[in-house]
Structure 1
């Protein structure tokens, strides 16, 4: 038993090093995307906790939020540094591949489990208009729905190369309007309650350590 645990720990350390290398590479390619991933993880965890989900589900959702855009490692630098609000059709198709690429990068790390699906499906929408598969409401895992809300909120409220961040009120309106075809309305309202009570994330700073704790706990290390 002891040998098995030691072997498991070595494998987990190797996987953690792999994940650390992936996030470092992403940060070197696009610092915004890495910081965005940290914030999305933290927002997703806050929503999952407020919904009363089990600890294991919260961890998986946090990990899915952290790595939701990791597939952008494979995108051209022109996309990541683009300062235009609208991309060409060819570049849009390239962007739509990032959930597939991200899931492929992560699928062999066994302890990530459902978190890989949250990466794969975070751009699916309840009316079937999302990508990469056009899934509809009941086909989308709840964790992916949570990550998509956190992703949208952070994208709207932070500065990007092609747009200035909008107000919290504007982000709330976008989320509520999106309930018609994109987001789970019940989750959106709970998320808005959470932000109204506890505020937005101004920076990731030491708070980003939570993400490392999420991964370690999912890998079989002591709970947070």
Structure 2
């Protein structure tokens, strides 16, 4: 794996809600690329081993502090936690860019997760009303964490990460961060089109490359 560090002026402060499989993996990649990463978790002290491995390239704090100090936020929490987490971070998040990697996982995520999966307009619209000011972009929601960990910055066609959001600048920022993490951003369009890569679709959990994701979604 070859990582190209971001330029000093391109470094961003990224708050990550959760430090588990997706959050921990993507957070590591961004920290290794040179971004300022803070994991927002209930028990920051439990991340000391991970932070030690990263050699001081990342930190940990309560979620609201991680969000308040960030330029952009990645959410990688259990889907069922959204109502409580949204209420906790809404004021600190404001109108910042929110990359939403969360996916309902039945039966773990209960009625809230089941309702999200049943929506005809897509999982994104179970989350968007909870944080109406945020610039929401669906991102990192389709690829297994093991693939993210092992295939980042690979040679040849990189793993495709589909993106969808209603704010063009937010989507462009998400695309840049996907590249920094070592993957190929595939912009699907507005947030309503995120349903095309929700659970149960052809590209979800497929490990497709960027060109393969574009072909599957009909994107030139």
TM range (shorter): 0.3 to 0.5
Structure with greater helix share of residues: 1
TM-score (norm: length of structure 1): 0.32
Greater RCO (Cα-Cα under 8 Å, separation 6 or more): 1
TM-score (norm: length of structure 2): 0.32
